[in-house]
Structure 1
């Protein structure tokens, strides 16, 4: 608005509409007409190695120039490292990630992208080291712990995942971390032992987080595992340990619902009444409604139940009409009909539910949908006992799944097991063979092989293992299982050939497992020279201290004490030359234990003279800006021969200086 020289707004003299009106369409059209032409760089096509090297050099120069200007721009570091990884230059990519961490190691994205790059390219040990560094430096970042434990669990290293969880729990993480620990134990533990482990975790959980939610999760665990007495004990402990002031409506509803499910109607009624007396009316609307429904459910008149079911049925019909792809509503609707026991109604709801195929062909959208089919076939087989209809439902389910994109091994395996129960082995084999042919998965191979093992058909097992290893040649467990099959059939040469083929693979997910299995196989066959040869071949690939110790222990088990000492000597010499202090200390401890058991005073003295001294040292830390950040304590090892070496170096330095002085004096005289 215009204003006068004194700052006061001027009065508008003419308030009529302008003769020419400006519209949004006119503004957009002018913007489109006057926009500048975008110049795009021409596309390049690389035809030979020289052009590729030139392209890489140019890209690297661009990235390095950008980083010199924007050193703290994490996005540039990420693009640079991932570009190197896309060029299969993994050492360069690692170097860039390490440089990025030197710039800002507190940036979560750097650690995540770094580890994801290693996992994506199946560098498991590299990824493990990265996660270990991340959780050590940033222990309060829960995402690192979740990713680390998930990776170990996916690799089948349950013991390693458990160790990581225990490290995490020492930091008193949030509730979802404890729950993840429990879920991991439930997935991989046996029944009795799993329960004890989970209970121990929950006991620590409620000490770390003494809240109502923690106790309720504990109670839910006991309830799901069929121990109502312990579940009731957890609810009672919550009430006594936390006090009535902390208890809310949700706690009483769960407690009463549990007692009602256990057919303890009087207990449930007492809990409802106690809650209504203690809770304020403003916070007890839902529990009052639950109590009303409870009295209707356990009342004397059967007509109340029919009215409630009819009302619920109408509600479900409205909900599925509004959103037919909400499968949770269909599950609830099916449960309602199953509680009534009318098979025709149940079948009708199942048919309507499975007709709503997910609109997106992505597996996680189909997970809940497939369980509709699973419940459908279980209903037809167990409730109606209609074999032919069950078979038709299985076929319909498999026809719906887009197997070219993804599949569900569970439905294939259930179909095959159904045919086995009908004593039709040929059909079961045909189903599993078709599944492997259309969409091979590790679970399918394992199930098919287990079936043939139970039937005792070794030739089919061999054929399946061959296809399995063509599909997944890096799977060490598959190689070991295949070799163990041949071993159980007394085909030792076959087993040995399989092991040789396995260790010759360029990529293996867990090579240490495979080498150990091979060595154990040769040892069990009393082929000790072959086992030694395997150890020598393994040492050519890796000089890890555990391999040296294992070889020494092997020689000890064969009463070859001199050979064991020779192994320790070789290992000590190598580790000393490589300056691997901590590993050398570990080796010397194993050697000392060996000499204490098998050696004499002289051999024990040889080892004890080499034992290092553990020193606590300090080093100065600096911030990113170069200022001092304080001192850090760390442990190091000092070996006796290090001190001798230092003395010899000092003596040589003095001799060099003396010789230099003599030469200078000679030149002056000349």
Structure 2
């Protein structure tokens, strides 16, 4: 009975298991359906996300294309567009974008390699290799890059099966080792690839094992072996990194060992490599752009004098510093003066202006090189037209480039002929130049760029000397004089010399008579020239006329000068009276404040003085007065003693004087005044009132400048530090070192250090440390975030060149204004920084960058001051190229007002004169207390 039971049990278990399996299958199918549904939902979501991304990318692509249609020279915009098109897989549009960028700019190694690899993949389907070869030829002309040459050679190996394919591969490899084989670190890879190619060909020529090669085959094998031997010998004669491994490989490969001549060349190259190794190691550890390291490398190679190595070193430096005009200038100058190979020289000049088109000197050198190497006239004219559209940052650059082109045209003219096509072209170019200066340059920069009319002077000399056309020369000089040059003696004398050389005495006399009437800068000199001319060529009547005119003119000039001197003396006298009046008012106010102090405050102050005297000097010494009071004897800064002495904290080095020693005390005061020598002292201001122990702090700060005689902090009536002091040194030489600490931060505030000058004796003495003229090597940055530090800004600017100094502009409290001045090593780096940094965002703030050109400081000086009043420096309204403005107007809006005067400039800012400070006679008047009260109430 047990067996059937077990059978039933087993059957039931099997049925339960089958049911469980069915349920599991049903559950699995349900889960699969759920997973499938989730996959469908996820795929839908991914499709939606991808479609949204595609829409956003397409919108961004269209925006970039529109921006390039407006400004085709926006380099970053080109790069962003290429990246987006590559991401979207838009191959046709990507090819057009790369083509357009390559026409305007040299492409970097990375952009070229991406483009070449994409085109190589496309040509595998089209079987059209010639287009890729053309693209490679364009790529190797932009920069000398070993990676591009290696890619070019490897690609050509794929076509070695075609007729002449092997010879073409060898030709490309030979060009590659010629171009980059001397590259110390990357040239070895090209040599090795060349040898591997020849070894592969050798393997195809080897007969199968056991077969004896025929004579023809033996000759081919021998020739191929000699090719490989030659490659080893050539490579080992060049100093390259890791050349020891190549020598070991040659020893192993060569059946007969390394020849003695090859070993000798190898040792010589190895010695050269050891000399260059420190320079290469310096390049490896340096951070881009490695400008100083490359310059040291170039100087080393120039001393050695190997032209090929000098050229490859220049090319390596230019590949990493392609936007540094000075590097291009040095390279082209070397090629012009040393190598003088036409194709190499002209191609380098072309690459230079494509990389730095804003640099006029590079275009100038290019035009001269084209003429020097006999380029056709059409080519020279095309290059000149491109230069005019390059976007120079100064008006004078356009004048200079025009002068270079006009000189070229003048050298083409054969002046032995009365008229020729070249002469007419020269005259048309002069006329076009004058129109260009008037219409384009003046409108763009607000100035002519040629105030002395040098171009017209040259044209006039050419007409007079070569064309014998004095009538045209006189017309040109009339135009020169009408452009504001008639007041200058040197311009009249230039015209006189021209007439003297190529004209006649009648026009010479006429020019000198006009000069006497018009000249304002050096009229005596013009008068002397006229009298000398009449002594040599004039009649008695001419002499009398000349004497009469010169005497009349000089009398008027002397009267004007006397009036100007008298006016200046009156102004100086009035200024002295104002200073004296202000001093009296100040003294009266000070006395009034002293009288208004309460009796309780006086007693408290006297008690403090008594306590301090008791503490420092033991028992008090008093002098009895008639009214029964007593006076304490104490030396002060003012030299007063007793009850009427101001209650100031005793200065360092000053001692209390006991009663009964008045004469000694007065002598001690004289000694102290002798110690306060202005030539050995500096004045410190803008210190924090809360500065603890200012004497000890400043001693520690200035002890590095020299031996300190004393530090005198100035305290108020209640013993509160007033934020300024005097530091006296033992030697005047220490003052120079101390002035270098100006603007040093002390507890968060910039400390002002200036020479110690008595303002009562020198009321006009002012200090303005920073330059106020056009500084081409320095840029001005505005719109900076207030949190930007000097180190952060220096790091940002280092990408554009060598930064010599960074100065953040701050308020007197040390709080930043969002402005800064950055000084570069030269003006080309500063110009490049303007082009690259203007409009860049820093921490969400869009900055503006311009060449530093602050307004002059001596604007509308004090009335009556002896210093002349000068106008504001005219602003340089530079044009734009690429990314917008290259110059900002730093002139405050208040200075543009014609009615309002401008006050005296202090600490680099201009303060407007307050209304009501000028009376009806035009002279400034002193403001009363009620005037100040009205101004405060009006606010």
Choose 1 or 2 for highest CA Rg: 2
Query: Which structure is richer in relative contact order (CA contacts within 8 A, separation 6 or more)?
Result: 2
Higher relative strand content: 2
Is the shorter-chain TM-score for this pair beyond 0.5, marking a shared fold? Answer: no
TM-score by length of 2: 0.23
TM-score by length of 1: 0.32
